[in-house]
A and B are shown apart, each in its own frame.
Chain A
């Protein structure tokens, strides 16, 4: 296990550096009872409340072939680290101190053991960047101790449905949300006829299922569907001989767009420009939908991007953003509830009073029926933002954000 105690140290130093010039401050004034927000703490001059946040992620195995854009080693961890700094900038004034205990597991290491160890060290708030089965195992293992889990990596719709857990908040968007965002964009453009190319992995099949569901929801048609059986050609070196597989596969299909389902990034990037007809490619490659993008600079996010770049030495990825958001949600709930108790923090997050500013132009909040964070999604090409979902004109009686993903009437989640 690669533990990162240095991170907590760095954070502590940063806080000490911040707090010294502020030592002379008087305690922040509490708000009046007339306002709904709880008062700012008067603890600033006593010992701060320690709020430890755990993070469990796993080393990404080296790719079978050349990887142009390899997942960085500190994916997710770098986002959480920045959010700890952001939390402590408020905590300095409210008498709260946040630390990160990040555990990056080796390929064969047991996630449940790591989670149990975190809980044994007193951590009750844990961000988890792991596949669905491991996420559930972790959530169930730490539940007796009252720990709350933040899913920052798994998009599986079942986690928000039949397999939902009362102690799990989903910060990562569900596949249904991603597919709905894409479908709204296509529907707004009237690019109604889809050609679906599905990869061999279970995740690809799940993504394709989400696309089909979204197509029905927004009135699009799947005119053709073909499996990709030609291997991870997207990872082939650029100096290899150009092959005609995609050209052959796409022959004879008349569609507005080709939707590729390749979550592992194995072949999707091989398809654009190798098609028989001039063909736009969308889905997991080409035009993609996600929570974050390096080209994003609206709504003050230029500031977050530049803070992250300075802190991590690279651009922010969606998983970093989701980790940042999970830790910031804890920070925001801790500030507003005046404490570090995990149950109180979770209760506040579930309440309609909880919203968080997260550089998306509108406040984000939590859906009570499945504890999914509702959020705008960025529709982007590799070097630029193309649109933001929900698209204008897709209305909902509650909030347009609920046009993305599973809505209350259709949920199969029973939170227990």
Chain B
């Protein structure tokens, strides 16, 4: 399937490429030698479940029933708990990653869709899509610290690496709102293209990537000046422009590469995060939305909502190496930090 696109030259050094070739040669099993085994958690929006994938064997090891309409999913920095938006139960569930039992329910406010955790692990910032607000929740005390009114249908949430700025994108207002995490006040807004779904900071905090699903672009914003530095556009031969709908964005820690999930275009774009050139389109499952790296950034997992599977991307080689059947309508994905 990758033959469809001209192979892009690797931007990595030779040793990494050599390693990549070795990985491909031996298939998934060899990943065990090169990479540690991590646990991948996938929320299945219509399956009301989470699927657990072993990053070494690339198989589903467990499936657990959770609250209704599970969407956003993340872990605590120490990996000891999983946080899950159970949208139709108007709650964030705290889940034990090994037993998969729901330990507690948190006061998320109505219809939580997506959230971001303060780098320290507390508080949790939750987008209440139906109520045009962001709920700031102390996860230890299960206490709402603040509710910040934002634009219509907030969804994408990101916290700057220094923890000082929260960004919330509102889908109908078409804005990224910058919120001071000390005062919980909006300190600025950036108008982006239609239906912004996701926001992601570079690890140095110097750039913010905001995807616009219907606008079909990813805006790169300077968080300091709150100006758009660049708009990344996408063009795929043989794919109609309207189906190119950027949602999930993940950046490598070195800030050099961005992976962008393109929704019903069924592809993940590999973007040079410094020149903003799209270097490659990787064919994955249908309606790809969210992405998650393993901590060593060797693998990237994608949730494909319409084909009910997860695609596994070999990051150094930029190849899709496997698709794994999960529950109904996989939405979010997170990899355990250990």
Contacts and interface: CB of A to CB of B under 8 A. Distances in A.
A89 B185 contact: no
Contacts of A399: 240-242
A355 B245 CA distance: 14
Given A25-B185, A357-B214, A86 B264 contact: no
B173 A89 contact: yes
Interface in A25-64: 25-32, 34-37, 39-40
Nearest to A91: B173
Contacts of B225: 29
A40 B229 CA distance: 14
Contacts of B183: 24
Interface stretch (B96-104, B148-156, B159-167, B318-326): B148-156
A31 B148 contact: no
A31 B228 contact: yes
A231 interface: no
Contact of B227 (A29, A89, A303): A29
B227 A363 contact: no
B191 A28 contact: yes
A25 B189 contact: yes
A32 B227 contact: yes
Contacts of A306: 130
Contacts of A37: 191-193, 228, 231
A326 B266 CA distance: 31
Given A34-B229, A363-B216, A86 B152 contact: yes
A385 interface: no
B153 A26 contact: no
B203 interface: no
A401 B240 CA distance: 11
A24 B185 contact: yes
B152 A40 contact: no
B134 to A, nearest CB: 11
B151 A40 contact: no
B60 interface: no
A18 B149 contact: yes
A80 B153 CA distance: 18
A303 B188 contact: no
A21 interface: yes
Contacts of B171: 300, 303, 357
Given A355-B194, A361-B264, A399-B242, A25 B187 contact: yes
Contacts of A335: 174, 191
B308 interface: no
B214 to A, nearest CB: 4
Contacts of B172: 86, 89-90, 357
Interface string A352-368: 00011100011100000
A146 interface: no
Size range of the interface on A?
35 or more
B240 A400 contact: yes
A93 interface: yes
Contacts of A36: 231
* Chain B interface SS verdict (over half): loop
Nearest to A360: B214
A34 B219 CA distance: 11
Contacts of B192: 37
Contact of B242 (A27, A356, A401): A401
A363 B194 contact: yes
A307 interface: yes
A372 interface: no
B207 interface: no
Interface string B80-102: 00000000000000000000000
A22 interface: yes
A356 B194 contact: yes
B189 A89 contact: no
B229 A32 contact: yes
Contact of B173 (A24, A30, A32, A90): A90
Interface in B175-222: 175, 177, 183, 185-195, 213-216, 219
Interface string A102-114: 0000000000000
B226 interface: yes
Contacts of B227: 29-32
Contacts of B253: none
A88 to B, nearest CB: 9
A365 to B, nearest CB: 9
A332 B213 CA distance: 16
Nearest to B155: A300
Interface in B1-52: none
Interface string A322-337: 0000000000100100
Contacts of A31: 190-191, 227-228
B241 A89 contact: no
A208 B231 CA distance: 47
A375 to B, nearest CB: 11
Interface string B53-68: 0000000000000000
B132 A89 contact: yes
A94 interface: yes
Given A30-B227, A90-B173, 9 more contacts: A24-B183, A37-B231, A86-B152, A86-B172, A93-B189, A332-B174, A357-B195, A362-B243, A400-B240
Interface of B: 129-130, 132, 148-149, 151-153, 170-175, 177, 183, 185-195, 213-216, 219, 225-231, 240-243, 264
Give the 5 A-B CB pairs with smallest separation, nearest first: A29-B226, A362-B242, A357-B214, A357-B194, A40-B191
8 contacts: A28-B175, A28-B188, A35-B230, A40-B191, A90-B151, A90-B172, A90-B191, A363-B242
